[in-house]
Structure 1
Amino acid sequence: MSYGHRLLSSLDPLAVAAGADIPDAVTIDGVVLSRSDLLGAATSVAERVARAERVAVLARPTPATVLAVIGCLIAGVTVVPVPPDSGPAELDHMLADSGAQAWLGEAPEGTSLPVVPVRLHARSWHTYPEPDPGAPAFVLYTSGTTGAPKGVVLSRRALAAGLDALADAWSWTAADVLVHGLPLFHVHGLILGLLGPLRVGSPLVHTGRPTPANYAATPGTMYFGVPTVWTRIAEDPAAAKELAAARLLISGSAPLPVPVFERLAELTGHRPVERYGMSETMITLSARADGERRPGWVGIPVHGVETRLRDETGQPVPHDGSGIGGLQVRGPMLFDGYYGRPEATAECWTEDGWFRTGDVAAIDADGFHRIVGRESVDLIKSGGYRIGAGEVETSLLGHPAVAEVAVVGLADPDLGQRIVAFVVPRGVAPAEKELIDHVAGELSVHKRPREIRFVNSLPRNAMGKVQKTQLG
């Protein structure tokens, strides 16, 4: 049984062979597909692409995208998911860099690549042999915040290890129903949000857009969202209360503000599950369904993962909950490298085999992790102190007049870097001194912002992450 077929089964790999079905395995864009529909239609796709090595998929939230991805997994063809809103330069880069040989399904106008159609009602029951577990399943492109997007190669083995670790952490079973409206071209929406339920055997309902109204109108036991989604739900009490019957509310892709965590808990009765990962690692840290869920912290390593902290000289950082250092991880769900970039791949690994995430974190004595932010933009060196932007942001978000905030370190001739907070006010903007004093009263005085800049909005990418390189 191929991995694509295995994804469509429950945890019992004989379920498909025995004829077991799920009538509503995937609901997306108004179309309901049973497990049998998925298997037959995706195998038909596999027959049309089986001789290819890599194909591009314009990853709109549609049945065609679902069938394209599963068909490639069945055939052992590598998928290059392409964001539908990619600009011409970004699109050209991803296609040229990946060597994609064709578009599978929908294609953008003016493409020079051949287009292979995906037919929703075609069926095939051909059986394909299982490809090598180490074969690449995806080349996922990074957001490109520090240069041209790089292609992250994820193997079939890594997908299986990552999804099974999350099934364990979240007690995820075929009895669950997953609801989300996330994009299908990143780890969160595509691998966790589509392949996860297919592997576990739980139905998926994709809401199109992740609005409070859409989530409230869709019954489920698990809901995925990025912090922007949860913030909007927390601001809509009627919608939030409709999620009270769920089992888990899961947040990821960026830190969930503590006030949003607490408001969700108040309105829904659920303390959200936070988790941490990136394209290169999938999910390596998470709060557990049967464990503690602590606001501002992203939990403990999932099954098979090890973590450690190192300072700027490579020395260990104590796991005391306050010391911060560069987070390094290793585990079976990590990527195989950046496609065609051996030098970039080598740079992110230590000599003893740990992946440098580029994030700054703290770990407490119980193994709970708190992500402070990116080393490149969130580790601020001011007046001889090392300050995490995340803790300053958390303090500011606790002020009732602050709706959103991003804290950065800008060059300063005296301090080296000065702490500057870009604040989206909630209603009338408060006095700058009021916010500075608020932070100084909660944290050490040296962590207070030296400047507050009020803005109407913060620059974000498609996953809702603030693009701090655009602030300054």
Structure 2
Amino acid sequence: MFLTSLTDSHDLDRAVTVGDDVLSRAELVDRAGRFAAGIPGDGPVAVHATASIDTVVAVTGAILAGVPVVPVPPDSGPAERGHVLTDSGATAWAGERPDDVDLPVVLPGAQPIGPRPVDPAATAMLLYTSGTTGRPKGAQLSGAAIAAGLDALYEVWDWTPDDTVAHGLPLFHVHGLILGVLGSLRRGSRVVHTVKPQPARYAAVGASMYFGVPTVWNRIVDEPDAARALSRARLLVSGSAPLPASLFDRIAALTGQAPVERYGMTETMITLSAHASGERRAGWVGLPVPGAETCLLPATDDPTDADTVPDDGETVGRLQVRGPMLFDGYLNRPDANDECWAGEGWFRTGDLAVRDAGGFHRIVGRESTDLIKSGGYRIGSGEIEAVLLDHPAVSEVAVVGVPDPDLGQRIVAYVVGDGHDAQVLIDHVAGQLSWHKRPREVVFLDGLPRNPMGKVQKKLLGT
């Protein structure tokens, strides 16, 4: 059980803080143990994953009991929630129960139970993907995988029991729940969840490590006093989405340190990261963490192409990863498993990346929507979008390839923003990237088409 250290470590009087609620390590062990005592059967247990101390107790209690945890987003609708509960086979519910849920609610026992012996290879967490290409899929993460992923980050980020981790991220994803909360509990460090990721709340914590997504970091630098308060921290970590270079620079200017960027997925945890004691480069997600391996395959199906792409920092390839932190597959989805596993432990991420001679990686987009073949070049639209977002006239952008009789595909940028000078934006990209990556056309819109999850629907553009 990967949280055995929870009961072995020295006590902390403020081990977990969520908003105004604080638990010492002993109090958390007691409450989690009583929650574990009330779990009927062997689970899984669905946890209404609000930003609350009750969520931390429920997740920790289920793990101590050796029962799989199924975090359920608190804003999920009845259809999504019903699919997750049915697909996971959840047998109990933790937290406030919506009217459409008929599972029994876990009632804590009078006396706590100790950690149960658990096979490390057994599923510890079932995390459901966003479902942007169909119904959400349940990614099965074992205790061994979670432990391996966290232990790698302790080394890469110089994370020690003396650290205090602060964030306000959702408690139903890898970033907020596994890294932020379980990572701190396993390491023996303190964790403070600010409930909402607001700049003033981040600044008030006085933590040594902060986790955030680009939206959070953008809000923080828009309040310079809050940003400067983070200068006392030793590590500012950004992930879950690309960090624009201009935002990277603003964070560094206001806090005195460049942020650490990293790359991961629900299925893989974190496989790439800049190191706390190493280089931090805007737009690049660093090196493989200990135990992880990567390979870049040609972004083409031509059998005459080389087996891998050159490490020149420019050539785009299909990113595959493997390592002990990867999931065991999607629950009840043999079709999806056949599609994502390439053999010998390699997982097809679906992302496009480049790698330089030093092993640093840069993610340039998703293969399904972001690979553009123009004039004989293979181009990832994500890097063009990142450059355009650095222009002050651009607030939103989506870059796609549209059919072209001469180029095969021509690069078109769909832009939401204040300015409407296409040539200025084209020249901006040409000045930052290779000439062939410049948009041949810029279309100005009032808004980008998005699905109910907020994801841009690129397939509706350029048609």
Q: Shorter-chain TM-score: what band?
A: over 0.9
Say whether residues 1:292 and 2:279 are aligned partners. Answer: yes
Say whether residues 1:448 and 2:438 are aligned partners. Answer: yes
CA contact (8 A) 2:39 2:92 kept: no
CA drift at 1:276: 0.3
Alignment of 1:46-445 (within 5 A): 46-49=36-39, 51-117=41-107, 124-311=111-298, 312-313=300-301, 315-412=307-404, 415-425=407-417, 428-445=418-435
- Residue deviations 1:285-334, cap 9 Å, x none? 00000111011100100010111110124721111211110011110000
- Residue deviations 1:440-461, cap 9 Å, x none? 3333333222333344565779
Change (3 A) 1:128 1:264: closer
CA drift at 1:136: 0.3
Bigger Cα displacement from structure 2, 233-242 vs 136-145: 233-242
Change (3 A) 1:345 1:74: same
Aligned partners of 2:217 and 2:449: how far apart in 1? 18
Aligned partners of 1:460 and 1:271: how far apart in 2? 32
Aligned partners of 2:237 and 2:323: how far apart in 1? 22
Aligned partners of 2:397 and 2:287: how far apart in 1? 26
Aligned partners of 2:114 and 2:177: how far apart in 1? 24
CA contact (8 A) 1:133 1:157 kept: yes
CA drift at 1:126: 2.6
Q: Structure 2: which amino acid aligns with 1:305?
A: A
CA drift at 1:467: 5.8
CA contact (8 A) 1:377 1:409 kept: no
- Residue deviations 1:241-266, cap 9 Å, x none? 11111110000001111110011101
Q: Structure 1: which amino acid aligns with 2:148?
A: A
CA drift at 1:463: 9.6
Q: Structure 1: which amino acid aligns with 2:347?
A: F
CA contact (8 A) 1:253 1:463 kept: no
CA contact (8 A) 2:350 2:367 kept: yes
Change (3 A) 1:458 1:302: farther
Change (3 A) 1:197 1:250: same
Change (3 A) 1:69 1:193: same
Change (3 A) 1:345 1:379: same
Q: Structure 2: which amino acid aligns with 1:153?
A: Q
Aligned partners of 1:51 and 1:108: how far apart in 2? 22
Percentage of pairs with the same residue: 61
CA contact (8 A) 1:253 1:465 kept: no
Bigger Cα displacement from structure 2, 94-103 vs 253-262: 94-103
SS in 1 for 2:230: coil
SS in 1 for 2:275: coil
Aligned partners of 1:261 and 1:461: how far apart in 2? 28
State the match for 1:27 in structure 2: 17
CA drift at 1:375: 0.6
TM-score normalised by L of structure 2: 0.93
- In structure 2, stretches of 5+ residues that fail to align are none
SS in 2 for 1:3: coil
1:38 pairs with one of 22, 28, 32 = 28
SS in 2 for 1:254: coil
Residue correspondences, number: 457
Q: Structure 1: which amino acid aligns with 2:84?
A: M
CA drift at 1:471: 5.3
Aligned partners of 1:241 and 1:454: how far apart in 2? 36
- Residue deviations 1:180-200, cap 9 Å, x none? 000011110110011000011
TM-score normalised by L of structure 1: 0.91
Aligned partners of 2:310 and 2:79: how far apart in 1? 44
Aligned partners of 1:165 and 1:113: how far apart in 2? 37
CA drift at 1:393: 1.7
Bigger Cα displacement from structure 2, 393-402 vs 68-77: 393-402
Aligned partners of 1:172 and 1:75: how far apart in 2? 27
CA drift at 1:223: 0.5
Change (3 A) 1:454 1:385: same
Aligned partners of 2:359 and 2:431: how far apart in 1? 28
Change (3 A) 1:413 1:64: farther
Q: Structure 2: which amino acid aligns with 1:217?
A: A
Cα RMSD over matched residues? 2.2
State the match for 1:5 in structure 2: 4
- In structure 1, stretches of 5+ residues that fail to align are none
Change (3 A) 1:470 1:36: farther
Change (3 A) 1:460 1:173: farther
Change (3 A) 1:336 1:317: same
Aligned partners of 2:105 and 2:71: how far apart in 1? 15
CA drift at 1:409: 2.8
